[in-house]
């Protein structure tokens, strides 16, 4: 899955404008309050626990937000959006005072924001889930990099974990939980390895920055996965630490999980 990002860059906001406001040909119109466009709904977390209030990654109750931008590219303060749950039929989530959200039933809630009468966001998807309480490895915690063959230059090993909850009476996977991966140690510790020689990659073989850290969100089955990729070796093994918290910011039982992948 694509890592969850709580904040939007200015370039992302500009791109989002095409989805939020239908612009006539020519100049960008100025709407209520000097607004040119608004961002999509910004969720503090991709999930909220049932019967609890939406929180940020630290477990602190946090509101829904949008960002409004003027024609000069400036952020417009004190914009008061109206957030609306559009999920039908039946309850999914409730918008509370101060743009807080309560999870009402285990399902996906769709939420839009409106500013004035002419600005509306696309639906944001918020997972209402059982509070997760445990994580476990879904792939072996010790493994070897496969031998290179056929002229290949890289070798990789999947690192899968599963986040679950017993709150429903039956232990089951919990979706939309943020999972963090960290390359913690390369052995021997005196080994000098180029930044791009040992990296964490996503399911499309991509890494961010120097590849030492990566973030995933759990899928519908509660699984998150990254792979450790190496090229060429020049070291004995690498340790990866994987951690996740519940939606109140408390580390999950069973974690952090330590994977060790060796070159021989």
16-25 pLDDT, tens digit each: 443 444 443 3
Residue 74 clears pLDDT 70, i.e. is over it: yes
Residues 101 and 216 reside in one and the same domain: no
- In sequence order, the β-bridge partners of residue 149 are none
Q: Is residue 246 part of a domain?
A: yes
Residue 16 has a pLDDT of 46
111-166 pLDDT, tens digit each: 999 998 888 999 999 999 999 999 999 999 999 998 877 667 788 999 999 999 99
Residues 159 and 238 reside in one and the same domain: yes
pTM of the model: 0.83
- Whether 217 contacts 247, CB under 8 Å: no
Per-residue b or e along 156-188, where b marks 16 or more CB atoms closer than 10 Å to that residue's CB: bbebbbbbbbebeeeeebbbbbbbbbebeebee
- How far apart, in whole angstroms, are the C-alpha atoms of residue 183 and residue 176? 23
**Average pLDDT of the segment spanning 182-192:** 89
Residue 205 has a pLDDT of 85
Out of 129, 150, 172, a domain closes at: 129
- How far apart, in whole angstroms, are the C-alpha atoms of residue 96 and residue 171? 30
Residues 111 and 186 reside in one and the same domain: no
Average pLDDT value for the chain:
86
* Domain housing 248: 134-262
**What residues contact residue 109 under an 8 Å CB cut-off, 6+ apart?**
85, 87, 92, 93, 101, 103, 125, 126, 127, 128
Residues 153 and 251 reside in one and the same domain: yes
Residue 154 has a pLDDT of 81
Q: Is residue 227 part of a domain?
A: yes
Which residue do the tokens 């409730």 mark?
94
Strands 35-38 and 213-217: unpaired
- How far apart, in whole angstroms, are the C-alpha atoms of residue 138 and residue 224? 9
Q: Is residue 5 part of a domain?
A: no
């Amino acid at each position: 899955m694509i890592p969850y990002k709580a904040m939007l860059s200015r370039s992302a906001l500009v791109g989002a404008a095409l989805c939020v406001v239908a612009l006539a040909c020519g100049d960008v119109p100025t709407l209520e309050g000097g607004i040119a466009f608004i961002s999509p709904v910004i969720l503090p977390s991709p999930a909220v626990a049932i019967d609890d209030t939406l929180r940020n990654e630290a477990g602190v109750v946090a509101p829904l937000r949008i960002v409004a931008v003027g024609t000069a590219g400036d952020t417009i303060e004190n914009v008061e959006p109206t957030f609306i749950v559009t999920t039908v039929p039946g309850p999914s989530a409730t918008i509370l005072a101060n743009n807080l959200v309560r999870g009402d039933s285990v399902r996906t809630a769709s939420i839009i924001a409106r500013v004035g009468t002419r600005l509306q966001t696309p639906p944001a998807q918020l997972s209402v889930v059982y509070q997760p309480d445990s994580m476990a490895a879904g792939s072996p915690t010790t493994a070897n990099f496969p031998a290179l063959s056929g002229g290949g230059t890289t070798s990789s090993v999947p690192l899968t974990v599963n986040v679950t909850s017993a709150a429903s009476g039956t232990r089951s996977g919990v979706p939309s939980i943020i999972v963090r991966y960290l390359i913690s140690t390369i052995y021997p510790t005196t080994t000098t390895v180029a930044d791009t020689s040992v990296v964490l990659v996503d399911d499309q073989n991509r890494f961010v920055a120097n590849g030492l850290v990566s973030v995933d969100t759990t899928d519908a089955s509660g699984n998150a996965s990254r792979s450790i990729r190496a090229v060429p070796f020049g070291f004995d093994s690498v340790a990866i630490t994987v951690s996740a918290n519940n939606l109140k910011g408390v580390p999950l039982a069973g974690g952090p999980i330590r994977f060790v992948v060796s070159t021989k």
